[in-house]
Amino acid sequence: MNSEQPLSFNGDSRWAIAFVALLFVHNEVHEIAHTGVGRLICGAWGPRNFNSWQLACSKTPEIVLAPLAGLLWSYGLMWIGYRLLNPTESPVKRSVGFCLVFATMPFGRLYTVAQSGGDEMVILRGAFPTADPAVRLAVGLSIVLLLIGPPLYRAASVLSQKRRWIIFTGMLLLPFVLFLVVVLRIANPLLASGVLTSEGLLGSPLLVNIWTLFWVIVLLLSWRRLSTTLISKK
């Protein structure tokens, strides 16, 4: 089916639940990609919380592989979204692609690099330890913009003119804000206070396992809503 015409955003409360589930499941797989590679490198799981991790050893240059693994997952998913947003795809596929682009939090990737943080800067510091920090930052920002630019452009283009930039801005910023509030203000402080910190599956704290299982179940029950994100204009 050819669906080159712009589509209308069809989000509601049930869609929002499905999207939030996708957001948090994506994030946990991102973290497991880091720590799983770290386990292969070091032979043991390193400490972690909901959004940061450490390796159980210090090895170079293998250390770069752990942050790279998470980036390959997130950017890979984002670019799958880009592919699904192709104008010749059906509204169902474009809906899923739209959700994938924003569930990977492209603004978060840019924001953390702008703060000289994030996996991208870990890799650049590891690969170019003697480079000028300002040059590394400029390179990091350029790389992120090149990677998120095409998917975001295509995600914006798929929307009809009516409320296009309101919806686009909301989808760009709100997932990151939600993540900051829930993870940094609630989930990580719970871990820091000693709630369910014993090691569970895949070297993760038990609280992380319970949280992830909850969102996986929610996503399995609601994922069909993601395919209705965009509908043809009547």
3-class SS at 8? strand
Determine the Cα angle at 109 with ends 105 and 112, to 5°. Answer: 125
Structure tokens at 170: 């909301």
Alpha-carbon span 5 to 92, nearest angstrom: 14
Q: What would the pLDDT profile of 79-118 be if each residue is shown by its tens digit?
A: 999 999 999 999 999 999 999 999 999 999 999 999 999 9
pLDDT digits 0-9 by tens, 1-35: 344 678 999 999 999 999 999 999 999 999 999 99
The residues pairing with 159 across neighbouring beta strands, listed in sequence order, are 7
Could you state, in order of their start, the residue ranges of all structural domains in the chain?
12-227
C-alpha to C-alpha distance for 98 and 27, rounded to whole angstroms: 17
Angle at CA 172, nearest 5°, toward 99 and 118? 100
- Name the average pLDDT for the chain: 94
Tokens of 26: 């994506």
